[in-house]
């Protein structure tokens, strides 16, 4: 099966991402260094659908980048919902605000600039949904830090958990990102407090439900 053709077919038969997000994508592809990092059309619609299904009141996103996934989750969020999203690179601020300010869901988003490891302990919230999508070396640390802040029955999503298939090979000692993902995947597999499944979507999306 031709994967690219299948993806095109899928994109032609699901909800459109809309003018704001497609403009954001074009802007990112022209002006940013690593546009592939943003969730994109298919994953964005899936994140929105998760929000529709869960009707979360509080979401935490670790790793905002352009705000693409943030805006998708905000679309699916009830009016009384709030997303805290954390981005370490404050050079992204203008880009994020450019699109957030045009979104009808802007009131549902609070952007924090700084290191998630420092900001998360200051958030006095219980989260229904957490999206881990930042430094691959720190996935296990983010998980330990957020775990006490997720309600029972809540969901943690972790992106890139197949890491371009690199999880299948023995990593070089210097490849700390692959090592980080491998450690995280083993940790989740062995955590009896959660139910888990890996979706082979894009680069791998792990769904973790707190029992
Ligand atoms: C893959 S991108 C996020 C993509 C976005 N979630 C989406 O789906 O459109 C990862 C982002 O995490 C940020 N990041 C890395 N380490 C971080 C940390 N410790 N705290 C907060 N953000 C971090 C990076 O600067 C980068 O912008």
pLDDT (tens digit, 9 = 90+) per residue, 52-71? 999 999 999 999 999 999 99
Q: How many angstroms is it from 149 CA to the middle of ligand 1?
A: 20
Which letter, b or e, does each residue of 137-176 get, where b requires 16 or more Cβ atoms within 10 Å of its Cβ? bbbbebbebbbebbeeebbbbbbbbbbeebbeeebeeebe
How distant is the alpha carbon of residue 110 from its chain centre? 15
Task: Give me 90's structure tokens.
Answer: 């404050």
CB of 73 within 6 A of ligand 1: the answer is no
pLDDT (tens digit, 9 = 90+) per residue, 6-63? 999 999 999 999 999 999 999 999 999 999 999 999 999 999 999 999 999 999 999 9
Q: How many angstroms is it from 62 CA to the middle of ligand 1?
A: 6
């Amino acid at each position: 099966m031709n994967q690219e053709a299948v993806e095109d077919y899928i994109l032609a038969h699901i909800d459109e991402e809309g003018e704001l997000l497609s403009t954001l994508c074009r802007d990112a592809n022209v002006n940013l260094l690593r546009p592939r990092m943003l969730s994109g059309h298919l994953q964005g619609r899936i994140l929105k659908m998760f929000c529709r299904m869960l009707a979360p009141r509080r979401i935490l996103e670790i790793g905002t980048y352009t705000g693409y996934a943030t805006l998708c989750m905000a679309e699916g969020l009830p009016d009384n919902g709030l997303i805290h999203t954390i981005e370490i690179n404050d050079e992204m601020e203008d880009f994020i605000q450019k699109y957030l300010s045009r979104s009808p869901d802007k009131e549902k988003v609070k952007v924090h600039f700084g290191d998630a490891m420092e900001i998360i302990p200051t958030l006095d919230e219980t989260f229904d949904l957490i999206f881990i999508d930042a430094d691959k070396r720190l996935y296990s640390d983010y998980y330990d830090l957020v775990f006490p802040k997720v309600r029972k029955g809540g969901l943690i999503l972790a992106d890139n958990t197949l890491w371009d298939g690199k999880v299948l090979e023995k990593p070089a000692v210097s490849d700390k990102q692959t090592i980080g993902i491998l450690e995280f995947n083993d940790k989740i597999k062995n955590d009896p407090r959660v139910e888990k499944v890996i979706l082979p979507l894009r680069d791998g999306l792990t769904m973790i439900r707190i029992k």
